Amino acid sequence: MSGLVLSLFPGIGLLDQAFEEEGFCIVRGPDLLWGGDIRRFTPPADMFAGIIGGPPCQSFSGLGRINKVRWGADSVMPDMIPDFVRCVEQARSAWFVMENVPGATKPAPASYTVVHRICNNRWVGGEQRRVRRFSFGHLSARVAPRFHIQGEAFDPIDELDTVVSTGQTGSRPKGQLNRASIEHMCRAQGIDASRFDNSPFSRTELRRAIANGVPLPMGRAVARAVKAALADQRAAA
């Protein structure tokens, strides 16, 4: 794919990897995980063809709402979707994709036509049931761009417990919570646990980083959907 793609909130780069596998050239932006802060970041205008990223979802997730009630608003990451929108508007990329939980605020950058799609990781070949909303925006589209996430004909036989940033996972007997192993979390996210053999993170930090990523099967399906949508836009131009 032509042009650079800026990744915001890249984390450990699972969404980045999925787009790279589909031929996109990714430039990783600042992330708190690596000591950066998007709130102090201003992307250059007209340099990036696209922008991808998933702002923290804690403010909108069920677990995040429970934590806010129990521990207060400071117990979760603040809503950073406005910073994602700001960066899109400043960069003026031709397109963007934002990932978040279904209940999050929908991004609406000025001058962009945006469509939204719900995707379950199980629908695209993943073993973990994980539902996310993807918002695809195009700067020059006069009509809503075609953005279709292609599903698989059949779900995988195995279904793994959904992983969360605390590392907890459902187990047997039903309803009991145990600490998930790194290996289980990696399999659920569709990645090889060996990539973290020499990780600088603690086990707690690593669990959080893995769980906050976009599962690779889902990311690949979204990257293919973006390629198809961009091809449609070029054909219609």
Q: Is residue 216 within 8 Å of residue 121, measured between CB atoms?
A: no
What does the pLDDT read at residue 76?
61
Give me the DSSP letters along 87-146.
HHHHHT-SEEEEEE-TTSPPP--TT-EEEEEEEEGGGGT-SB--EEEEEEEESS-SSPPP
User: Topology of domain 4-151+216-236, per CATH?
Assistant: Rossmann fold (3.40.50)
- pLDDT (0 to 100) of residue 52: 98
Q: How far are the Cα atoms of 76, 122, 152, 193 from residue 54, in angstroms, in the given order? A: 16, 19, 24, 22
Condensed to tens digits (0 to 9), the pLDDT of residues 219-234 reads 999 999 999 999 988 8
CA distance 161 to 182: 13
What is the token pair recorded at 34? Answer: 């690596």
pLDDT at residue 235, rounded to an integer: 83
The model's pTM is: 0.89
Q: Where along the chain do its domains lie?
A: 4-151+216-236
**Low-confidence stretches of the chain (pLDDT beneath 70):** 1-2, 58-76, 166-178
Contact 189, 163 (CB under 8 A): yes
Q: What are phi and psi of 4, to 5 degrees?
A: -85, 150
For the chain, the average pLDDT equals: 87
